[in-house]
Amino acid sequence: MAKVTFIGVGNMGGPMAINLIKAGHEVTAVDLVAENLEKLKTEGAKVAHSAAEVMADTEVVISMLPAGQHVKAVYGKDVFPHAKSGTLLIDCSTIDVDSAREVQSLATEAGFPMVDAPVSGGVGGAAAGTLTFMIGGEDDAYAAAEPFLQIMGETLVHCGGAGNGQAAKICNNMMLGIQMISVAEAFALGEKLGLSHQKLFDVSSTASGQCWSLTTYCPVPEMVPTSPANNDYKPGFASALMLKDLRLAQAAAESTGAVTPLGEHAERLYEEFSESGGAGVDFSGIIKMLREI
C-alpha cells in the first residue's frame, strides 16, 4: 500500500481520500480548514497543515483545489522543492488548461510523473467511488495513476497529453450548461403554452430533445427521481460551480481563438443567476430565473 498525501479534503476531496483509506492506503490529509482535517482524522487519516512537511515521506500526491492559482502555488512551493524524485502527482482540481499544462511541464522538468484528472459525478459520486475521471498526461504517468483513480472512480478516460483532462472537463460542462438552459427554457415555454410538464417530458425524453439534463436531471419536479428539483434545488452541482466551469471554457476559447457563442451566453445567464442569489442553488434551478425574464 502507498503513502498518499491528499491536499484539499473538502466536500469532494474528503470522500475521495476516505475511499483510499478504506482501500488500505496510508493517507495524510492536508487542508487549511481544521474541521476538514478532524473529519479525516476520525476516518483514519494522518493530518498536516502543510504539504511541505510531509513530502519527504510521500509516494503519491493527490490534490483537489479551487483554482489554477492554488494548484500552481501548492506544487511550486510545497511539492516540487520537497518531494522525493519520482513521486507520483495527481491533480484532480478543475482548473484552466494553461495552468494545468504549466504545472505538468514543471513536474516533468523536475522528474515527477504527473496527470491532470478532473472529475465528474459530484459529492455523491465521490462518496460512492463512482466518479468519472478525465485524465491528461503521458502514458507512463497515466499507468501509474490508474490504480489510485480506480479506487475513487468508476470510469477513467485517458484524454491525451498534459491538460487534456481539463480540456475534456470544460468542454463537457459547457455542453451541460447550454443543455440545461435549453431544457429549462423549453419547460418555461411549455408552461406558457398550457402544456403539462409530464406531457412535454413524455415527448422529449423519447424524441430528438432527449439529453442528460432532461432524462436524469430534469429541472422540474416529479419527472425523474434523481433531479434536485424534487428537493427544492439543493445541490447537486451548485450554480457557482457551473459558472466557474463556463468561465474556464470561455478563457480556453479566448486563448485558442475558438468561437463559442452559446457558451458565452450560458456564462452570462449563470452569472446573472448566481449574482441574484442562485450561487448556492443547483444549476438546474436556473429555470426559476428563466421563467421571470
Percent of residues in the chain assigned helix, strand, coil, to nearest 5: 55, 15, 30
Residue with cell 484539499: 8
> What DSSP assignment string belongs to 239-268?
HHHHHHHHHHHHHHHHHHT---HHHHHHHH
Catalytic: which of 169, 192, 234, 288?
169
Q: How many other C-beta atoms lie within 10 A of the C-beta of residue 269?
A: 22
Would the CA dihedral through 242, 248, 250, 253 be positive or negative? Answer: negative
Alpha carbon 241 to its chain centroid, in Å, reads: 8
Q: Which amino acid is at 44?
A: G
Q: Which three cell numbers stand for residue 114?
A: 504527473
| Of 22, 248, 256, residue with least CA distance to 116 | 248
Positive or negative, the CA dihedral 131, 12, 122, 227 is positive
Output the nine-digit C-alpha cell for 100. Answer: 494545468
Q: Which residues pair with 62 in a beta bridge?
A: 6, 90
**DSSP characters for 128-169?**
HT-EEEEEES-HHHHHHHHHHHHHHEEEEEEEESTTHHHHHH
CA dist 165 and 248 (Å) reads: 13
Residue 199: active-site member: no
What is the residue whose three cell numbers read 468561465? Answer: 247
Catalytic residues: 169
